[in-house]
Structures are given as structure tokens and as C-alpha cells.
């Protein structure tokens, strides 16, 4: 508080520059998709020639796009579920594991954050081609779950950091066996972190293209894969409408995660 006040003469202009840059590079392109999607003409053009929902309507009545939406929800949902189970177990178990075992595993859990997606994609490709699994749903789901793992792991670790260990001891001394203590105390109190991790892992998998392209072998047509194919073939405003919907889904996911973080800090007190 006092720091920000004493440096306000520097911070205030910096703040405006930062907000301006953020707006220009991050928000603007995202916002830009909406006028494109609402365009009434049949070609991608800017500024739009009149506004309307006809491209959204087209998408809603296109079996190809609807199928892609379905595939995406299925793949992202399953990948997020796998990431959540593995990430939560890791976050609960690694802190009480022998550190010679725990340290490398912790590193492995967060590594996908810094490994370029292409590298991950190639690695998965070579593994799954050996197992003859390229083009299977299982391969895509496993490939994408690795992407969500660090997010879930870090979320649950952060949630456990302000978890009062005395609660476990109190519950034990009041007659709670370990499974009961886990189910009634530990799990409910870390639930906001776990669900936030699940939502973010879902969003990550939902938007992913590269790994899905490699491991899916062009057979698994998620939304990004379908859009990628469509843009190369014939870029219509229908693609922009699909993009607009997926942007909304992503933003909704982030809003949900933020709400869950608030809930978590409200619960901690």
C-alpha cells in the first residue's frame, strides 16, 4: 500500500502503458473476432457490411461443426478429468513422500508448462505410433491431459498451502478414521482448488491444436482441428462464428476459475 503510494509518480504512467499494451495485443484481436462473425456477407471482411446472426445460424445447422463441438467437449472433458485426478493425487501425496522421489516427480508435474507444445506433440506421436494408437480418442485424451496436469497440480498445491493441518489432527482425535477425514475434511476444503484446476485444464484442452493434429492423425476432428482445416480450404465467416463461440467458452472458463479462487479464499478464513 505505502509502496505503491510512494512510487505512484512512476507507477501511474506505467500502469497506463501496461494496460494499453495489454489491450492492444491481447484483448483487441479477441474482440475483433465478433464483428467478423456478425458480418452479413459471405466473405471475411472488415469493417462488416451490416450485422446479423446468420453465420451463427449456419454453424448451428451444420452437422460438421456440431460434430466438432461434440468431439471437443468429449476430448477436453475426458482430458481434464484425467489431469484432475492425477494432478490432485500428486499434490496431496508428493509433499509427504520421500524427497528423492518427490522432487523429480514435482518437476515432471509442472514440466508441460515450459515444454513447447510441438515437442510434446512429437514425443506423444512417436510413443503412440509405436503403440498403433494414432488417430484414437484415447491417444488424444492422454496427450491433452498432460497439458492440464501442471495447472491442476499447482492449483491444488496452492489450495493446500493455506490448509490448516490441525484440522486433520482434530478430526482424527474426534474419532475420524483416515478415509472419513479425507472425505469429510480434506476433500471439501480443497474442492474449490480442484474444480478451478479442472475448469482450466478443460479450457486448455478445448483450445489445443498441435498435439491433437499430431496424435489425432487428422481423424479426431476437434473444433480447433476443424477450424484449421476450414481456414486452409475456404475461410468463411462461419469459422469466425465458431471462433467467437469458443472464445466465449474460454472466457466463461476463466470467469468460473476466478470465482472458485474467491470462494477458496473466503473459505480459508
Partner 1 sequence: MHEPAEITPQAVTEQLPAPPASETIAEGLELIDLTKAFDRTHRAVVDLNLHVKRGEFFTLLGPSGSGKSTTLNLIAGFLQPDQGDIRVAGRSITSDPPERRNVSVVFQSYALFPHMSVFENVAFPLRRQRIRGSDLRARVSEALELVGLEGRRSAKPGQLSGGQRQRAALARALVGRPEIVLLDEPLGALDRRLRQYLQEALRELHTRVGFTAVYVTHDQEEALVLSDRVGIMSDGALVQVASGEELYTRPASLFVANFLGDANVFEGIAAAATSFGRVDVRLLASQSVLAVPSPHSFASGDRALVVARPEHLELFPGAASFEQGAVAGGIVRERMFLGQDVVWVIDQDAGGEIRIRERSTEAKSFGPADRVFVHLREKSIAVAVPSDE
Interface positions with partner 1 (CB under 8 A): 164, 166-167, 169-177, 180, 184-185, 188-189, 266-269
Q: 261: left (phi > 0), else alpha (psi -120 to 50), else beta?
A: alpha
End-to-end CA distance of the chain: 22
Closest to partner 1 by CB, 34 or 163 = 163
Closest to partner 1 by CB, 194 or 220 = 194
Closest to partner 1 by CB, 54 or 172 = 172
- Quote the least distance from Cβ 84 to partner 1, whole Å: 20
- Quote the least distance from Cβ 264 to partner 1, whole Å: 11
- Quote the least distance from Cβ 174 to partner 1, whole Å: 4
- Cα pseudo-dihedral 28, 206, 125, 137, rounded to 10: -160
- Quote the least distance from Cβ 267 to partner 1, whole Å: 6
H/E stretch holding 41? none
Closest to partner 1 by CB, 185 or 247 = 185
Residue at grid coordinates 510512494: 6
Q: 50: left (phi > 0), else alpha (psi -120 to 50), else beta?
A: left
Please give the Cα distance from 13 to 15 (Å, whole number): 5
Tally: H helices and E strands in the chain? 14, 0
- Quote the least distance from Cβ 61 to partner 1, whole Å: 46
Closest to partner 1 by CB, 169 or 248 = 169
Please give the Cα distance from 61 to 59 (Å, whole number): 5
Please give the Cα distance from 95 to 235 (Å, whole number): 50
- Quote the least distance from Cβ 165 to partner 1, whole Å: 9
Q: Taking Cα atoms as reference points, which of 151, 122, 119, 146 lies closest to residue 134?
A: 122
- Quote the least distance from Cβ 158 to partner 1, whole Å: 17
Closest to partner 1 by CB, 92 or 137 = 92
> Residues 133, 135, 139, 143: is their CA dihedral positive or negative?
positive
Amino acid at each position: 500500500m505505502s509502496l505503491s503510494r510512494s512510487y505512484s509518480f512512476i507507477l501511474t504512467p506505467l500502469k497506463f502503458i501496461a494496460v494499453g499494451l495489454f489491450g492492444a495485443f491481447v484483448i483487441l484481436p479477441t474482440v475483433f473476432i465478433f464483428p467478423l462473425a456478425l458480418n452479413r456477407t459471405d466473405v471475411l471482411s472488415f469493417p462488416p457490411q451490416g450485422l446479423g446472426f446468420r453465420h451463427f445460424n449456419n454453424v448451428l445447422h451444420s452437422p460438421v461443426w456440431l460434430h466438432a463441438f461434440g468431439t471437443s467437449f468429449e476430448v477436453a472433458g475426458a482430458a481434464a478429468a484425467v489431469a484432475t485426478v492425477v494432478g490432485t493425487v500428486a499434490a496431496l501425496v508428493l509433499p509427504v513422500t520421500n524427497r528423492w522421489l518427490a522432487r523429480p516427480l514435482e518437476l515432471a508435474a509442472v514440466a508441460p508448462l515450459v515444454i513447447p507444445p510441438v515437442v510434446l506433440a512429437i514425443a506423444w506421436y512417436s510413443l503412440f505410433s509405436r503403440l498403433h494408437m494414432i488417430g484414437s480418442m484415447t491417444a488424444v485424451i492422454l496427450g491433452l491431459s498432460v497439458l492440464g496436469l501442471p495447472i491442476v497440480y499447482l492449483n491444488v498445491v496452492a489450495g493446500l498451502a493455506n490448509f490448516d493441518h490441525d484440522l486433520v489432527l482434530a478430526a482424527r482425535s474426534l474419532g475420524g478414521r483416515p478415509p472419513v477425514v479425507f472425505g469429510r475434511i480434506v476433500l471439501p476444503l480443497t474442492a474449490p482448488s480442484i474444480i478451478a484446476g479442472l475448469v482450466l485444464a478443460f479450457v486448455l484442452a478445448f483450445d489445443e491444436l498441435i498435439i491433437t493434429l499430431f496424435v489425432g492423425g487428422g481423424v479426431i476432428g476437434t473444433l480447433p482441428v476443424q477450424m484449421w482445416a476450414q481456414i486452409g480450404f475456404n475461410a468463411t465467416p462461419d469459422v469466425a462464428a465458431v471462433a467467437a463461440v469458443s472464445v466465449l467458452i474460454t472466457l466463461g472458463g476463466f470467469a468460473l476459475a476466478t470465482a472458485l479462487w474467491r470462494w477458496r479464499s473466503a473459505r480459508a478464513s
